[in-house]
A and B are shown apart, each in its own frame.
Chain A
Amino acid sequence: MQDYSEAYARDRAEIEDLMARYLFALDYSDLDSFIEMFTDDAEFEFARGRVKGKDTILETVKGFKKRIGEHYKDEDGNPAVLRHVLAHTAIRIEGDRAWTRAQWFEMANDGPGKSLKMGTFGIYEDKLVRHDGRWLFSERRIMNEFLPGRESGPDNPVRGLDQAARA
């Protein structure tokens, strides 16, 4: 069980800020900001597999963003305006390490007449470390309920979070 110490609120606030900055960086294709949120040996797992190391993550995400631009288009064939949205987040913090399970969804302007259309949804499963006073992702796994083989569950993801923190 999480011991909600005096430091929990501060750490949680900082981690929530990181998670918001991550989404703005990704949705606005600011990959310089994006990659600075990872540790050097971070692992990143998403629709296209699992990659390790900051440089490899950057190259992989660059390629992925390019392909998203090709697939997600508005009615006129322009790259769609895509936004990821974060909802509730369970955050476990133990000293300089932390874990999250967070609900996300996405939406874009790729509906009829450039109207809003819901995309997919899933969860983030993260490991974070505090490095030089700053929280960074050491692992981010992105699960998506609409991609076969990438679904979260069936077990309650928060059980996995508490187990990881005990290990």
Chain B
Amino acid sequence: MSYERDRAEIADLMARYLFAMDYMDADAYAECFVEDGVLDYAMGTTTGREAIRAEAHAFRENIARIFVDWQGNPAKLRHLVQQKAIRIEGDRAWNTGFWWEMTNAGPEGRPKAESFGTYEDELVRVDGRWLFQRRKIYNEFLPGRESGAVNPVLAMDTAAGA
């Protein structure tokens, strides 16, 4: 095992996660989590892969309520992940990642940047595969979901045993 190998695998998980999310593939989304995984995001905290699967089935409805295009149809929402600080210790890992999202909800169907925030993740390797143990999603545009004033990487390094 090496850092670059684990990092590459975790980067692939992050990409697969976002495609599952944005194309509303609830099964592929749930499979990114361990069985007792936790999703902590704007809509609340959900524990367990099956509960997360059920939660993911509601994404379409939830998103359609929040993002509509200029003609009133559900907008296309895309999340993007940019820089990722990843800490790896054996079969456990932590990620602090910057995300933002865009839609086609601008004037006359144009693109629109909607919001940004951080992912603060705990990952574990199960049967040779990295999965989310816990994903906490902060959004700087939602009161109560802001990431806060302190560098989130510090908490990650503390959690990993510094």
Contact = CB atoms under 8 A, between A and B. Distances in A.
Interface residues of B, number: 33
Interface in A1-49: 1-2, 4, 6, 8-9, 12-13
Nearest to A6: B5
A157 B12 contact: no
A53 to B, nearest CB: 30
A158 B8 contact: no
Contacts of B113: 118
Contacts of A103: 15, 18-19, 78, 80
B23 A105 contact: no
B5 A158 contact: no
Given A121-B111, A156-B20, A12 B8 contact: yes
Interface string B15-49: 11011100111001000000000000000000000
A146 B109 contact: yes
B145 interface: no
Contacts, number: 91
B92 interface: no
**Size bin of chain A's contact surface:** 20 to 34
Interface in B51-99: 76, 78, 80-82
A87 interface: yes
A91 B80 contact: no
A88 interface: yes
Given A8-B9, A91-B12, A13 B4 contact: yes
A115 interface: no
B25 A159 contact: yes
Contacts of B16: 90, 158
Contacts of B18: 88, 103
B153 interface: no
Contacts of A152: 23
Contacts of B5: 4, 6, 8-9
A105 B8 CA distance: 22
Contact of B80 (A9, A90, A101, A105): A105
B93 to A, nearest CB: 14
Contacts of A9: 2, 4-5, 7-9
A101 B19 contact: yes
Contacts of A120: 111
12 contacts: A9-B2, A9-B9, A13-B8, A88-B15, A88-B19, A90-B16, A101-B19, A103-B15, A103-B80, A120-B111, A154-B23, A158-B28
B104 A146 contact: yes
Most chain B beta-carbon contacts within 10 A, residue among A9, A13, A89, A120? A9
Closest 5 CB pairs of A and B: A156-B25, A9-B8, A87-B80, A88-B15, A90-B15
